[in-house]
A and B are shown apart, each in its own frame.
Chain A
C-alpha cells in the first residue's frame, strides 16, 4: 500500500497526534496530574500551530478527495490561531467546580471539531465536504450543551443539533440533485460538465441554504443568538470565529472551484443575502441587552461583509475574505476574552450593564475591549479598517457599487452600537451588577495581549496581505 498520500495531510496528522496524546492523558492520568492539563494542551497545540507555518508539499490525495493548496494551508493556520486563543481563554472557566472534571473532554472535543474544519477547507469532493461539516458540527453541539447543570446550555445544545441536522439534510438534498445533473461528486469533474439548467439551479439553492445555516446568513440566522447566549462563553467564542470562518472558506472554495462557470446564478443570490444579512444583523444588534446576544448579531452582520469578498469572484476577493477572517478572529476573540474575564468575576452575568464603569475598576481590560470594538466597527488605525477596506475594494472592482454603498451605510449603524459598549465602559457610573476590580488569570492575559498585538499590527504589516495575495486564486 502506498502511504505517500498521507504526507500531504501533515497538518491533519499532527492535529490527530495532539488529540491522541491529550485523550490518553485524560484517560490514564490521576486527578492530581491533570492539574497541568491546560498548560500541556496549550503547549502541544502551540507546537502544532507553529508547525503549520513551515512549507508543506501540495497536491491531491486519495484520487482527488483531499486537496492541499497554499491558500488552504494559510486558512488552516488562521483556524489554528483562533483555536489557540480560545484555549488560552478557557482556563479560568475550566477551573470552576462545574467543569473541572470535564476539562479533558473540552480540549479533545474542540480538536475533533477543528479536524472537521480542516477537512471542509481541504475537500475536493462533496462527500469529503459533507463528512467535514458533520465532523465539525456534531461535537460542536456537545460543546454547546457542555454545562450540564445549566438549563440555558442544554437548550442551546438542543437548538444547535436540531438546526444543524436539518441544515445538513437540506444541503444533502441539494447535493443529490447536483449529483443527478453531473454524475460525479468531484469538484473538478463537476465543474467541467455543469451548465445552467433548472435542476442544477434547484440543487444549488438547496446546497447554498445548507451552508448558509452554518454561516448564519439571514434568513437562516435565527438559531445564532440563542446558541451564542446559552453556550459557555469560550464555546461561543470558538463558534463565532472558527466555525464561521471554516464555513466561509468552504463556501468560497465550492463557489470558485465548482460553480465558477455559472457565476450569473449565484451572484444574485449572494447579493441579496449579503444586503439582508448586513442590514438585519445590524438592526437587531442595536436592541440587544445581553453582550453575547449582541456579539451574535454583530457576527451575523460580519458574515454579510464576508459575502462581499466572495461575491467578487476574483483572486482579490479570496485574499480579502481570508484576510477579513484573520482580522475578525483577533478582534472578536479580544472582545470574548474580556467578556470571559468579566463573566467569571460577576458570577455569570453577561448583560451589557455588567460593563458599566469598567474603566474605573479595570482600565486595561477596558482598553482591550475598546480596541476590539473599534476594530470590529472599522475605525482607521486598527486592522478592522484595513480588512473592511480590502473587502469593499474587491467588490467595487467588479462593479458592485450599490452593494458597497449599502455596506458602507451599515458600517455607520454598526459604529453606533459598538460605541454603546464604549460608552457603557467609560461614561456610565458603576452600578451594583457591574464588575469590581479584579485580576485576570495569566493565560487569558496572554491571549488578550496577543489579540491586541494582532489588532494593532496586522493592518500595518503589509507582508501578511501580500502573502495571502500571492497564493489566492479566482474563478
Chain B
C-alpha cells in the first residue's frame, strides 16, 4: 500500500504550485485555475487523513464532498465577475485592472 506521506507530498506540492501560479500569472482565468489547484490539494489532504488516520469516521470525506461543491460555486461566481470585468476593460489581463490605486 502506498504510504500516506507520498500523498501529502503531492498535496503540498499542488498547494504551493497553485500559490505560485496565482502570484505569477497575469491572466485572470489562469489565476482561477491556480486557485483550483490550491483547493484540490486541500481536498486530497482531507481524504488522505480520513482514509489513513481515522478510517472509522467519515468526517474528512464529507468535508471533501462539501468542498468540491462550494469550490464549483466559487468558480462559477468568479467567472461571471471576470466576464463582467472583460466587458468593461476588453481584456482578461490583471495588469489592466489599474483604475483603483492612490
Give chain A's interface residues, CB within 8 Å of chain B.
126-127, 130-131, 134, 138, 141-142, 145, 148-152, 154-159, 161-162, 165-166, 168-170, 172-173, 175-177, 179-180, 183-185, 225-226, 229-230, 287-290, 293
Contact = CB atoms under 8 A, between A and B. Distances in A.
Contacts of B28: 158, 162
A138 B73 contact: yes
- Interface of chain A: mostly helix, strand, loop or mixed: helix
Interface in B21-80: 22, 28, 31-32, 35, 38-39, 41-42, 45-46, 49-50, 53-54, 57, 59-60, 62-63, 66-67, 70, 73-74, 77-78, 80
B45 A149 contact: no
A138 B45 contact: no
Nearest to A134: B70
Contacts of B22: 162, 166
B3 interface: no
Interface in B72-90: 73-74, 77-78, 80-82, 84-85, 87-89
Given A169-B35, A287-B102, A134 B73 contact: yes
B15 A173 contact: yes
Given A138-B74, A165-B74, A173-B38, A185 B88 contact: no
A165 B18 CA distance: 12
A165 B78 contact: yes
A183 B54 contact: yes
Given A127-B62, A131-B66, A142-B81, 12 more contacts: A134-B70, A141-B81, A145-B85, A150-B88, A151-B88, A154-B89, A158-B85, A165-B39, A165-B74, A169-B39, A173-B45, A287-B102
30 contacts: A127-B62, A127-B63, A130-B70, A131-B66, A138-B73, A138-B74, A145-B81, A151-B89, A152-B99, A154-B85, A155-B97, A157-B84, A158-B81, A161-B78, A165-B32, A166-B19, A169-B38, A173-B15, A173-B41, A173-B42, A175-B42, A176-B46, A177-B45, A183-B54, A226-B100, A226-B101, A229-B100, A230-B99, A230-B100, A293-B102
Nearest to B44: A176
A159 B97 contact: yes
B99 A151 contact: yes
Contacts of B35: 162, 165-166, 169
A409 B8 CA distance: 46
A155 B99 contact: yes
A185 B59 CA distance: 7
Given A149-B88, A169-B39, A230-B100, A161 B77 contact: yes
Interface of B: 15, 18-19, 22, 28, 31-32, 35, 38-39, 41-42, 45-46, 49-50, 53-54, 57, 59-60, 62-63, 66-67, 70, 73-74, 77-78, 80-82, 84-85, 87-89, 94, 97, 99-102
Contacts of A287: 102
A330 B62 CA distance: 40
B98 to A, nearest CB: 8
B85 A155 contact: yes
Contacts of A172: 39, 42, 67
Nearest to A294: B102
A179 B70 contact: no
A130 B20 CA distance: 24
Contacts of B31: 162
Given A134-B74, A154-B89, A162-B35, A176 B45 contact: yes
A351 to B, nearest CB: 11
A162 B70 contact: no
A145 B100 CA distance: 13
B102 A157 contact: no
A179 B99 contact: no
Contacts of B49: 176, 179-180
A165 B35 CA distance: 7
Contacts of A166: 19, 22, 35, 38
B60 A179 contact: yes
Contacts of A168: 74
B102 to A, nearest CB: 6
Contacts of B80: 142
Most buried by B among A141, A154, A177, A229: A154
Contacts of A138: 73-74, 77
Contacts of A151: 88-89, 99
A138 B54 CA distance: 32
A433 B31 CA distance: 40
A169 B18 contact: yes
A180 B47 CA distance: 10
A401 B30 CA distance: 47
Contacts of A289: 102
A35 B3 CA distance: 64
Nearest to B78: A161
Nearest to B98: A155
Contacts of B19: 166
